[in-house]
Structure 1
Amino acid sequence: MKQPNFIFLFAVLIISACGTLEQATQSLYNDTHRPQFHFSPKVNWMNDPNGMVYLNGTYHLFFQYYPDSTIWGPMHWGHASSKDLVHWNEQAIALYPDSLGWIFSGSAVYDKDNTSGLGKNGKMPLVALFTHHNSKLEKEGRKDYQYQSIAYSLDEGQTWTKYEGNPVLKNPGIVDFRDPKVRWNEDVRKWIMTLATKDRITFYSSPDLKNWSKASEFGEKVGAHGGVWECPDLFPMSLNGKTMWVLLVSINPGGPNKGSATQYFVGDFDGKTFKPYSTETKWVDWGTDND
């Protein structure tokens, strides 16, 4: 009779521990000052969302994360997933800093045709494209301390492998060379990277996510220039059967009410060059710091 009693007691302890863990998790989620609609990690610092991508019924959110403190520090890519964009499950950290630098902002794509050659055994890769920020080179006073690298996942974002040929896009000597936003352009059959390069946007193209060529620049004397251009995006929208391209450019500082803000341009993009219909400065938001 002693063995059954022991098993029963062990089971009770397990159930109690699970209940306590669930209660603790729920209590943490319901912190007084924790957002209830927007995602937040269980603990410590987060900022820019990165690499939002949808695959096989699951939305993936990556984000700038410093797991060791409540203040900004060496950036990682945190990871969360959701089935409905409302309820989120925090996952293991996706990308850690390495010898090339900290993991700054970027984007992620599903390479369904395996253009990168990183897929294996019939599994197509998720590919993360991000800025490596080398703080050591920055402290030495060099300008080329930011460059673009990639990592890939063959298990739908659960584990990641950094590409051994990183960086895939070296810095030509520009301070603030960052935040790659990448999408496939069917018209030219290439990947297009929209990159923030100090006071303008530079477009690059690639057939395989690993080899990049400069296509064009936009914005040197267009739009608001009260701060550094950053975190761009380029995407098509249709109106009355016509496809137009929207270019988003964040700026920090220099918004209409000080602080950071996001400006936008509407125009045509042929896979190489962006031509705006108007050079008038237009704002997505008019509040302070994207409010």
Structure 2
Amino acid sequence: MKKMFWTLMVMLLTVSSVSAQQKPLVLGKSHAMQRVEVKNHYLLLPVQEREDNANIRVLVGGQQVQSMNIRLAVDKVDYYVPLDIQRFGTKDLLLDIMFYGDRRFTGAMKDFLCWQEMKQSNTFDTTNREKFRPQYHHTPAYGWMNDPNGMFYKDGVYHLFYQWNPYGSMWENMTWGHSTSRDLIHWETQPTAIEPDALGDIFSGSCVVDQKNNQVVAFYTSAGRSQVQSMAVSKDNGKTFEKYAGNPILVSKEEDFRDPKAFWNADIQRWNLILAVGQEMHIYSSDNLKDWTYESAFGKEYGCHDGVWECPDLMKLPVRGTGKQKWMLICNINPGGPFGGSATQYFIGDFDGKKFVCEHTDTRWMDYGKDHYATVTFDNAPEGRHIALAWMSNWQYANQVPTKQFRSANSIPRDLDLFEYNGQTYCGVTPSKEMLALRGKTGNKLPQTGELIIDLKGSTEITFSNSLGEQVVMEYDAVKNTFSMDRSRSYASFSEAFPCKTVAPTYGAMKQLRIFIDHSSIEAFDAEGRMAMTNLVFPTEPYSQIKVTNNAKVTIYPF
């Protein structure tokens, strides 16, 4: 495995384990307590993914200082996750643990393997142990990741926050993880940004660069007994955040009320905020980022409504070659995607700071793959760019993909704009220019990681395959003006929902195709930015052969 394009900024290196605990205090069929004498930085908790969650309350002097859900090992350890016990500033802790699994299947609690395997260490090993971990896509150093959150650019640095579970590689304990980059390719893991509190877990949201007050302001959903909106302020460029004492800042009677996206609207010289509320988007405005006025709702009778609307974004974009600008509203939906599960739809229209008016009635998808979701853009991006990242997975199988140390990656960065075709305006999606820096010298073999440029001469079929007969087949149909990707013969035993063939319109003839391949993904783009398709693949062994029909010219750039 080649070196990963991320590094860990905190000292989590080689494990030096020592047994840590006394015997557990078994208090019933499902309740136990474990005393911990703090000797090292981390308590390494053993995880077994097939088990049900256990709830751990960390108590200091009888007071709860942290709570998390974790699949503690019963008879097998899949991996370990670190709990920072030094942070509590005490010599003794009490873990109050409630198990929710069925004892008929798991056995007596006193015999659980977790009691023997809890260990203390001053370090935690994050060396890559996954053959499917991407080389040049952003991933968490360990644990589960889903939606990109709070992305902004300031002083030469891109900040990416993300939905993160520090205590397992399946969805739980939503926290804002944090990574930074100077080129959108090489990412450095930073300390945890925003952690759960009494209002709930920290769900998705956004950050804005408040130039006037020289601060970064984060907006996020606190998901507890209800979903409410909260804010936090950073005075050190996003390194640390202080939660606003007046939280929550927005509340609702609606059950699904989340994912605030705030932005400065230069047209009205005010802040706007857009929220996902059930199957609508609600729009607000503010002068001070604290007090928000409801302006309008958008969504009824527009787009796909087969699932819950989530993770909105709203921006003004240029229309290529016209001198015009229009507004685009991004709406992620799950389920309801064109090929099942999660997907990103968008709407083109006009926005006056109060009301968004859509100019079309058809449903439009930003990416026609099956693994492109929760798409949002960076605030304050340089050169007026609108740079988007997506979560590269699908809720139908995200918890089951064949990795353990981590789960999920982000898509490559993409620049968004608009283009016209047959009198209609559509979203253009182009790989960000930073991707060009990864190109090595051209080669003749299909690399495990790299970019392929395919010059098309009409209808063309492209096949990636390996010696086991696994393959992915891509086809450009110049008559129907479509592009498809069939991964049905790619390894997919972990989920019946994984095998699929995805099909996209190309909005005219396609002359050149750009394909980005990594250890577990294929992203295909029309070189003119009129088609995008993102799909995961998990070949048992890497694809090593490429076959192209119709004399299409192939240029291979290994990364």
Q: TM (normalized to structure 2)? A: 0.44
Question: Residue 252 of structure 1 is aligned with which of 319, 334, 347?
Answer: 334
| 1:35-74 aligned within 5 A | 35-74=134-173
Secondary structure at 2:258 match in 1: strand
Tell me, yes or no, if the aligned pair for 2:167 and 2:173 is still in contact at 8 Å.
Answer: no
1:105 Cα deviation (Å)?
A: 0.2
2:55 alignment partner in structure 1: none
User: For each residue in 1:176-211, what CA deviation from the matched residue of structure 2 results, as whole angstroms up to 9, or x when unmatched?
Assistant: 100111110112121111110101111011111110
Of the structure 1 ranges 281-290 and 77-86, higher mean CA displacement relative to structure 2 is found in 281-290
1:81 Cα deviation (Å)?
A: 0.5
Tell me, yes or no, if the aligned pair for 1:259 and 1:289 is still in contact at 8 Å.
Answer: no
1:170 alignment partner in structure 2: 251
User: 2: distance between equivalents of 1:245 and 1:59?
Assistant: 24
Secondary structure at 1:126 match in 2: strand
Deviation above 2 Å: which 4+ runs of structure 1?
A: 24-27, 285-291
Provide closer, same or farther for how the CA distance between residues 103 and 27 of structure 1 changes in structure 2, counting only shifts above 3 A.
closer
**What residue identity is the alignment partner of 1:203?**
I
| 1:15-54 aligned within 5 A | 28-29=127-128, 31-54=130-153
User: 2: distance between equivalents of 1:281 and 1:176?
Assistant: 22
Question: Residue 209 of structure 1 is aligned with which of 255, 273, 289?
Answer: 289
Question: Residue 261 of structure 1 is aligned with which of 343, 363, 384?
Answer: 343
Tell me, yes or no, if the aligned pair for 2:166 and 2:173 is still in contact at 8 Å.
Answer: no
Question: Residue 276 of structure 2 is aligned with which of 177, 192, 196?
Answer: 196
1:30 Cα deviation (Å)?
A: 6.9
User: 1: distance between equivalents of 2:184 and 2:371?
Assistant: 23
1:253 Cα deviation (Å)?
A: 0.3
| 1:66-215 aligned within 5 A | 66-114=165-213, 124-134=214-224, 137=225, 145-171=226-252, 173-215=253-295
1:147 Cα deviation (Å)?
A: 1.0
1:140 alignment partner in structure 2: none
User: 1: distance between equivalents of 2:139 and 2:318?
Assistant: 33
1:43 Cα deviation (Å)?
A: 1.2
1:271 Cα deviation (Å)?
A: 0.5
**What residue identity is the alignment partner of 2:318?**
S
**What residue identity is the alignment partner of 2:250?**
L
1:281 alignment partner in structure 2: 363
Structure of greater relative contact order (alpha carbons < 8 Å, 6+ residues apart): 2
Gaps of 5+ in 2: 1-10, 15-122, 373-533, 535-559
User: 2: distance between equivalents of 1:62 and 1:218?
Assistant: 27
- The CA RMSD measured in Å over matched residues stands at 1.9
**What residue identity is the alignment partner of 1:129?**
F
| 1:215-226 aligned within 5 A | 215-226=295-306
Percent identity between the two aligned chains: 49
User: 2: distance between equivalents of 1:162 and 1:127?
Assistant: 10
Tell me, yes or no, if the aligned pair for 2:156 and 2:182 is still in contact at 8 Å.
Answer: yes
Q: How many residues align?
A: 252
Which has the greater radius of gyration? 2
2:318 alignment partner in structure 1: 238
Secondary structure at 2:341 match in 1: coil
User: For each residue in 1:219-271, what CA deviation from the matched residue of structure 2 results, as whole angstroms up to 9, or x when unmatched?
Assistant: 12211100011111111111222220011111100111111111111001011
User: For each residue in 1:89-110, what CA deviation from the matched residue of structure 2 results, as whole angstroms up to 9, or x when unmatched?
Assistant: 1000000000111100000011
Provide closer, same or farther for how the CA distance between residues 168 and 36 of structure 1 changes in structure 2, counting only shifts above 3 A.
same
**What residue identity is the alignment partner of 2:237?**
E
Tell me, yes or no, if the aligned pair for 1:110 and 1:125 is still in contact at 8 Å.
Answer: yes
User: For each residue in 1:47-97, what CA deviation from the matched residue of structure 2 results, as whole angstroms up to 9, or x when unmatched?
Assistant: 111011001011100000110111111210000101111101100000000
1:33 Cα deviation (Å)?
A: 2.0
Provide closer, same or farther for how the CA distance between residues 26 and 57 of structure 1 changes in structure 2, counting only shifts above 3 A.
farther
User: 2: distance between equivalents of 1:265 and 1:158?
Assistant: 34
Gaps of 5+ in 1: 1-17, 115-123, 138-144
1:31 Cα deviation (Å)?
A: 3.7
Secondary structure at 1:100 match in 2: coil
User: 1: distance between equivalents of 2:171 and 2:364?
Assistant: 31
2:545 alignment partner in structure 1: none
Which structure has the highest helix share of the two? 1
Secondary structure at 2:220 match in 1: strand
User: For each residue in 1:112-132, what CA deviation from the matched residue of structure 2 results, as whole angstroms up to 9, or x when unmatched?
Assistant: 012xxxxxxxxx111111001
